[in-house]
Structure 1
Amino acid sequence: MWVLMAIIFGMSIITCLHALKYSKYNSKLPKGSMGFPILGETNHFFAPNPSFDVSPFIKHRVFKYGPIFKTSLVGKPLIISTDPDLNYLIFEQEETLFECWYPETFKKIFGDQFFGSLHGFMHKYLKNMIVNAFGIECLKSMVFEVEAAAITRLRRWASCEVVELKDEIANMILDLTANKLISYDPENSPENLRENFVAFIQGLVSFPLDIPGTAYHKCLRGRKRVMRMLENMLEERQQNPRKQNEEHEGILKNRKNKASGITWNEYKSMTFTFKFLNETLRLANIAPGIFRRALRDVEFKGITIPAGWGVMVCPPAIHLDPKHYVDPLAFNPWRWERCEGASKHFIAFGRGLRFCIGADFAKLQMAVFLHNLVTKYRFKAIGGGNIVRTPGVQFPDGLHVEIVEKE
């Protein structure tokens, strides 16, 4: 009895302090609910959503409070924006009104000095390093590698009765990207990078409860294994730096016709494929939120975003807005004949200073894979394909496909 009374009293004190802390902004803050003290509305935010549509958490609050509303997630006050104009301001005024920011759970997973949290000179320096690896000029020379990876995997899958396509494509992309960045060789590595990477990614947007069995706990364990693997690889590369490019250089030397395969010009001419990819990215909404933090009080359309508050831009609400996309849940690549690939209404790769550096590399991999799949193989879905957002995208029963080489 005394314990229960103590808990109730403690929660009451926290609630009062919680209200007093932001009382000076109450008249100008966006409408919304801060939920329970400490917990906030975290449990509603992470509730599973078996649909491509905007999550009920966002939908309900937009209907009730409008396109900009306040909430509290994982103990932090947060403003969520589904307003294209505010999103544009947030992205375009980075380092002036806003800065890149992630919840504390991200920092515990990535560390204090991870690339996404850096600002100013260090961010620009590291960004230039990555651009050198995945910029347009570099990608022109990578078309062969990307196509070779796609051809190898498709041949392997065609020899199987059924393929779990989601996992296999993820393996292909991760292996190619990791090989480019750190010379990762899945055949000769003592540990499975993807297995650890999947646990790592699934826990990024999960409830931060570090007990065995939770996604967050698996994420932290995956992080430790990935870091150990990277440390071992870097140590090996320091001992033998030339090893990095031997395999690909050998492949290029042994090719009889170095002009064979997809050329860069052919890739750039795939205009309908790019429409197809844009529509896929619009519906998939891989990133459920993009985080920033106000550097000072920001006034917008009569509301105030207090300095220090986090802001979450919500791409799904933008990409599935019926005011801009007619019949938004329908897969319709032809809509991109009228829509712009980069606008306030399409932010699949972010925007502004933090626009995804790997966007062109991702498009190259997807386009080249699709080209080889549709021109050389027939395929049909066998089972699976259901999705669940928590809020990240998951396929609980996979996507099972039969792939057969064309005669």
Structure 2
Amino acid sequence: MGLELLCSLVAVLAATYAILFGLLKKLNEWYYVSWLRKKQAPPLPPGDMGWPFIGNMFSFLRAFNSQDPDSFILNLNKRSLPFFLCFTNKTLSRNCYCCIGTGGNRYGGTSIYRTHLFGSPSVIVCSPELCRKVLTDDEHFLFGYPSSAIQLGGKKSLYGVPNSEHRRLRRLTTDPINGHRALALYVRHIEDIVIPSLEELAAMNPPIKFFNEMKRIGLKVIAQVFLGSTKDSVVSSMVKYYTELFPGVLSLPFNIPGFAFHRALKARKKLVKMIQDELDERRATTLVQDRKKGMMDLLMEVEGEKGEKLEDEHIIDLLLLIMFAGHETTAHTMMWALIYLNHHPEMLRKAKEEQEMIIKTRPSSQKGLTLSEIKQMEYLPKVIDESLRRSNFAFAIFRKVEADVNFNGYTIPKGWKVVVWHRALHMDPNIYSNPKEFLPSRWENHRFKGRTFIPFGAGSRTCPGADLAKLEISIALHYFLVNYKLEELNPNGPITYLPLPRPADDCLARIIKLP
């Protein structure tokens, strides 16, 4: 009798849960869809708005906290049922979000889906044509990163300003770091940091967190370029504060102790103070010629059409964002390139032989790399591109619409976010055969370039430091491959995918100097 009562109670609870779940989701769908019928506008893209307020964040977090983050996009095509029903009705489990299967009603292969992520109703696009269409249309699709990213990036950063202001600031920040002449100048600066840094790592007896050390090298380079300074005390503090800031970029924007966003805001304040102190010091001294000028000095000198100077807030927000993006991207790619090569001995041998051949064929009087040598490399650029594709530093690029947009036969309503899911491109088996395999040889066919390979974005807002980043990665890999080897302590350990893909132990390893 007791067992029958318990079974009945469980059945009632399960039914109540299912009805409540379905009702809340129906109400949420009705909230977002009903007004379109009154306007007789084209429909929303197919998809699922999830729970009220929460949307599909549970599904997103479940996928990205697993070892298969791409299951989120795969499961986006499937209709969902409550988690509880997986245990009460086995025949339904293959169609729910918590179970990965091949069954279920699909929304269709449209490559455009409605959802609700990071606190906003959103449309995800994940085909080459749609991704490029969004990224190259500045009129309809503006920067639309989540509130947490905008607040941490700053109101005056390249993320927070309108298109007209963005073009002006982008020109100011990219001209000094692009072009043959500028890149050739930075080769020596990068070598002066990379060579002694790698020697220091090889001299350490205890294992190191290789990813953290790559971030330190990356930040030294970016600090040299943008601040004209590589003081150890400055770099050490910046590594610490940026490490605390990064997890808050895509977090819930709750400024409450214990939340990632709260810690990130505190780290941002400390970074702002460091840059402000540097600005004040430079204005107080007349001995600028005694130190190397950086981007900071150029931004302090620049004038607008009416002779106005950039405000400190402008300079600080610009530098904080550029330095953040610059050192994280390079550190991430350098680490993964060496990990992938380490796991593929034949590819490692090929990459190493190419770099050794560069040294053998240069004049004996030449010391160090030249930009011409870097541009003549053939295999290493393929390794870098494949590392960018396979590791996917960022899974998506965010835009928003400020007015209703008819896009590919669907309506994207005013205020909605548009999420360009370029990870889906880079991991699409229809574009890249065996996408989970690390295969630099695939880049011998350049058909991938342009539409289907966008690690730095596309259009007018393509990452302005892409060329400088690839230059730094190339130089660091050259000196590592020629002189050192990576000895991972946990080569098959788990991977953490949020806020970016990295070994869960930050690649605990030893750096061994070669004889």
TM-score, with normalisation over the residues of structure 1?
A: 0.87
Whole-angstrom CA distance in 2 between matches of 1:311 and 1:264: 38
SS at match of 2:254: coil
Question: How big is the shift at 1:339?
Answer: 3.3
Aligned to 1:377: 484
Once superposed, what is the RMSD of the aligned Cα atoms? 2.8
Which of 268, 277, 290 aligns to 2:375? It is 268
Question: How big is the shift at 1:296?
Answer: 3.9
Alpha carbons of structure 1 residues 329 and 356: separation in structure 2 relative to 1, 3 Å = same
Q: Which moved more, 1:39-48 or 1:65-74?
A: 39-48
Which of 172, 184, 187 aligns to 1:140? It is 184
Which of 393, 400, 414 aligns to 1:286? It is 393
Whole-angstrom CA distance in 2 between matches of 1:53 and 1:334: 25
Q: Deviations over 1:278-320 (max 9, x none)?
A: 0000011111210112344333443222233210000110000
Aligned to 2:497: 389
Whole-angstrom CA distance in 1 between matches of 2:275 and 2:177: 20
1:37, 1:75 within 8 Å by CA — same for their partners in 2?
A: no
Question: How big is the shift at 1:21?
Answer: 4.6
1:297, 1:306 within 8 Å by CA — same for their partners in 2?
A: yes
Q: Which moved more, 1:171-180 or 1:50-59?
A: 50-59
**1:28 partner letter:** P
1:109 aligned onto 2:152: yes
In structure 1, the gaps of 5 or more residues are 1-7, 250-256
Question: How big is the shift at 1:259?
Answer: 5.0
Aligned to 1:362: 469
TM-score, with normalisation over the residues of structure 2?
A: 0.70
**Size of the alignment, in residue pairs?**
390
Alpha carbons of structure 1 residues 19 and 310: separation in structure 2 relative to 1, 3 Å = same
SS at match of 1:212: coil
SS at match of 2:51: coil
Whole-angstrom CA distance in 1 between matches of 2:279 and 2:193: 24
**1:395 partner letter:** P
Which of 419, 422, 435 aligns to 1:312? It is 419
Which of 200, 205, 228 aligns to 2:245? It is 200
Whole-angstrom CA distance in 2 between matches of 1:52 and 1:319: 17
Whole-angstrom CA distance in 2 between matches of 1:239 and 1:91: 42
Aligned to 1:38: 53
Question: How big is the shift at 1:264?
Answer: 0.8
SS at match of 1:34: coil
Which of 130, 136, 146 aligns to 2:173? It is 130
Alpha carbons of structure 1 residues 13 and 368: separation in structure 2 relative to 1, 3 Å = closer
SS at match of 1:72: strand
Alpha carbons of structure 1 residues 172 and 323: separation in structure 2 relative to 1, 3 Å = same
Q: Deviations over 1:69-127 (max 9, x none)?
A: 101123311001112111111112212x3222222222222233221232333211111
1:32, 1:71 within 8 Å by CA — same for their partners in 2?
A: yes
Question: How big is the shift at 1:248?
Answer: 9.1
**1:122 partner letter:** E
Q: Deviations over 1:124-163 (max 9, x none)?
A: 1111111123112211101011112111111001111323
1:69 aligned onto 2:113: yes
Whole-angstrom CA distance in 2 between matches of 1:111 and 1:292: 17
**2:242 partner letter:** F
Q: Deviations over 1:302-344 (max 9, x none)?
A: 3222233210000110000000101000000000001346311
Q: How does 1:8-407 map to 2 (within 5 A)?
A: 15=28, 17-18=31-32, 20-24=34-38, 28-47=43-62, 49=64, 53-62=68-77, 64-65=106-107, 66=109, 67-95=111-139, 97-136=140-179, 137-161=181-205, 162-189=207-234, 192-240=237-285, 242-243=287-288, 246=291, 260-340=367-447, 342-383=449-490, 386-390=494-498, 392-407=500-515
**1:332 partner letter:** L
Alpha carbons of structure 1 residues 219 and 373: separation in structure 2 relative to 1, 3 Å = same
Alpha carbons of structure 1 residues 297 and 135: separation in structure 2 relative to 1, 3 Å = same
Whole-angstrom CA distance in 1 between matches of 2:478 and 2:414: 48
Greater share of helix: 2
Whole-angstrom CA distance in 2 between matches of 1:241 and 1:322: 59
SS at match of 1:142: helix
1:102, 1:117 within 8 Å by CA — same for their partners in 2?
A: no
Q: Which moved more, 1:108-117 or 1:267-276?
A: 108-117
1:52, 1:284 within 8 Å by CA — same for their partners in 2?
A: no
Whole-angstrom CA distance in 2 between matches of 1:284 and 1:340: 20
Whole-angstrom CA distance in 2 between matches of 1:74 and 1:163: 34
2:47, 2:77 within 8 Å by CA — same for their partners in 1?
A: no
SS at match of 1:29: coil
1:84, 1:344 within 8 Å by CA — same for their partners in 2?
A: yes
1:386, 1:398 within 8 Å by CA — same for their partners in 2?
A: no
1:78, 1:311 within 8 Å by CA — same for their partners in 2?
A: yes
Whole-angstrom CA distance in 2 between matches of 1:322 and 1:245: 55
- Identity level (%): 29
Question: How big is the shift at 1:225?
Answer: 1.0
